[in-house]
Structures are given as C-alpha cells and as structure tokens.
Structure 1
C-alpha cells in the first residue's frame, strides 16, 4: 500500500493528515482525528510506515499515551503498531511474495513498500502472536528463518 493510498483511506475515515516540522525524534503524532507526520522524514516508504502506525492509534488507542513508563500506555502503543503491521505486512503478502520469487528480507521490504526495520518488527510481532510459523491457506509461513512452504492441492 502506498503513502497516497494510505492517506486516501485515512481521509475516508475522517482523519486529517498534515506533514509538519516536528522535533527530529518525533516521527508522527495522533490526536483527535489529526495525524502529523514529521516533514523531515526522508523517504515516502518511511512516511508510509509512520502513517500506518498513527492510523492504528486512531483505531486502537484512547487518551494521552505519551508517557511510555505506564504499562497501559505501552500496551496501547503495541496495539497501534500491530494494526500497522497487519495493514502493511499482512500474512497473505508473504505467500504472494513467495509466488513472485522474492528471495530475501530486503526484496520483501521493497516488494511491500516498507522499511526493513518495519518488516523486521512486523515479523517479530507475528512470532509473538503465532510462534515460529503459521498456516495460511495451503501455505505455511515460517518466520525464522523466513520462508513459505506450499502444500500440494
């Protein structure tokens, strides 16, 4: 999913998206149906990953969760990130990438339009959720080492 497509989807859900100058360590913010994306982020691919997480906050969090020393806030942050992972790196994408001949994580990140860091975080989240592998249709997605096994029909 491209940055522009994600913006369109967010607008359909009543969100306003603004690219604005933010402190360098702040990549994105969400509050009251408004998402701010740090204007200084260099690539559209990274902006896509940040935007997906901020949209995840719209759907999965409530209130001010900036204080990450509180466990409830960290849990809400994880729910927003999980939403973003499932949006940009859905399980069927592993199977489709396998069928397209994608051979490594770098190629997979490029194919999905996400950063390698985001892809690695998504894989780690899937490992937390499913363990080392998950069956998806006639395929088994193996997260470590990353691969897909296809069963005969």
Structure 2
C-alpha cells in the first residue's frame, strides 16, 4: 500500500522525501512536498503517515502546526479522516473478519495499519455512524463492541 500511496502522491504532483525530522514528528506536508521521518521503522507506520500527509495536500491550507486554533484542528481532522477512509474503508472490516480476524491486533495486521491508526479510525467511524453501520445488504459492522453481524434472509 505504501507504494500505491507514493504513486498517488506522484499523480498529484507531490514529492515525497524520507528525512530525519525533529522531535516526535512523523510526517510533514508543505508546498507539494511530503516529508516522512526516516526514524519510522515499519512500512506499515510509514503508510499511515503518508496517507495522512496526502490528506493534508488535498484538504489543508497554510500552516496548521498550531493546534490550539480551531481552524487548524478542523483541517487536521479532515486530513486524518481522508486517511482513515483511504486505508480502512468500512468494507475492509468485513474482509478482515472473513479472514478470521477477531482482535484489534489481528485486524490491524491484516489491513496493514498500526493499531493506533485502527483505533483512531474506529473512533472516527463511531463519531460518524454511532455504534453500528450497514456495510452492504447482508452485513452490519458493530463498532462498539467491534464485530460483524450477517443477516439471515
């Protein structure tokens, strides 16, 4: 998925550079350039960071580093939500459950995202849909507790 996101960034005329970033910064976007921290050890985590930074390219304007400002917080959320929908669309939970995943760890492994990214996405989907959401004609995804219900017809 990391390579697919790199290709998507290129198609958006965004340059990606892996470099050392200060402090705990994992990624940074500005002026059609995404910086990914070289200290990130796994491709899985890099994928999550890159998805969010592409979200910033698509949905944020200006310097939003100061997260004490409401507009900056809103823009940060827009970028993160795009990343959640990109890497973990609702249908992917059905895929994970169909492959025997039951724990959050197993789901994150199967979907190639970090557990923290998965948890944040679940919080987003709960905010958006409540405790459950219909995935298709036969399946309902329960977000709290996490599970899939197949309707019998």
TM over 0.5: yes
User: Which contiguous aligned blocks of 4+ residues in structure 1 show a shift greater than 4 angstroms?
Assistant: none
Q: 1:4, 1:24 → 2: CA distance?
A: 26
Give SS of 1:69's match: coil
Gaps of 5+ in 2: none
Q: CA RMSD in A?
A: 0.9
Compute the displacement of 1:129 (Å).
Answer: 0.6
Per the alignment, residue 150 of structure 1 pairs with 150
**TM-score normalised to structure 2 length:** 0.96
Aligned residues: 152
**TM-score normalised to structure 1 length:** 0.96
Q: 1:150, 1:6 → 2: CA distance?
A: 32
Deviates more, 1:116-125 or 1:6-15: 6-15
Matched, 1:54 2:53: yes
Superposed CA deviations along residues 101-132 of structure 1, whole A, max 9, x for unmatched, are 21211110000100000000000010011111
Gaps of 5+ in 1: none
Alignment of 1:106-121 (within 5 A): 106-121=105-120
Q: 1:14, 1:118 → 2: CA distance?
A: 26
